[in-house]
Structure 1
Amino acid sequence: MTDFLTALGLVLALEGTLYALAPGGMKNVMRTALNMSDQSLRIAGLAGLALGVLMVWFIRG
C-alpha cells in the first residue's frame, strides 16, 4: 500500500509540475484530447498503461 501511495504522490507531483510550468500547453493537450476519437484515446491509454507496467516491472525486477 505504501508503494501505491508513493506512486500516486509522484503522479500528482509530476502533473502539478506540468500545470505550473506550462498551463497553456496543458490546455492545448486537453483541447487535442477532446477532439480525438474514443478509440484513439483508448489506444493511447492502453499504450501508457503498458509502458508504465513495463517500466515498473523492469525497475522492480
Structure 2
Amino acid sequence: MGTALLALGLVLIVEGLVYALAPSLVEQMLEVLRQMPPEARRILGFLAILSGLVLVWLAKMLGA
C-alpha cells in the first residue's frame, strides 16, 4: 500500500509541475490529443501503462 501511495504522490507532483510551470504546453498537448484518432490515444494509453509497470518493477528490483 505504501508503494502505491508513493507512486500516486509522484504522479501528482509531476502533473502539478507541468500545470504550474508550463500551462500553455498543456493546452498544446491537449490540442494534439484532440486531433489523434481514439485508437491512437488508446495505444498511447496502453504504452504509458506498460512503461509505468516497467518502471515500478525496476524500482522494486532496485530495492525501493
Is this a same-fold pair by TM over 0.5? yes
| Matched residue type, 1:9 | G
Q: Any runs of at least 4 consecutive aligned residues in structure 1 with deviations exceeding 3 A, and if so which?
A: none
Alpha-carbon distance, 1:56 to partner:
1.2
Instruction: Measure, in 2, the Cα distance between the counterparts of 1:21 and 1:7.
Output: 21
Matched with 1:31 is 31
Aligned length: 61
- Residue segments in structure 1 that go unaligned for 5+ positions in a row: none
RMSD: 0.9
Q: Percent same amino acid at aligned positions?
A: 36
Structure 2 gaps of 5+ residues are: none
Distance 1:50 1:7 in 2: 15
TM-score of the two chains, using structure 2 as the length reference = 0.87
Give 1:18's aligned residue. 18
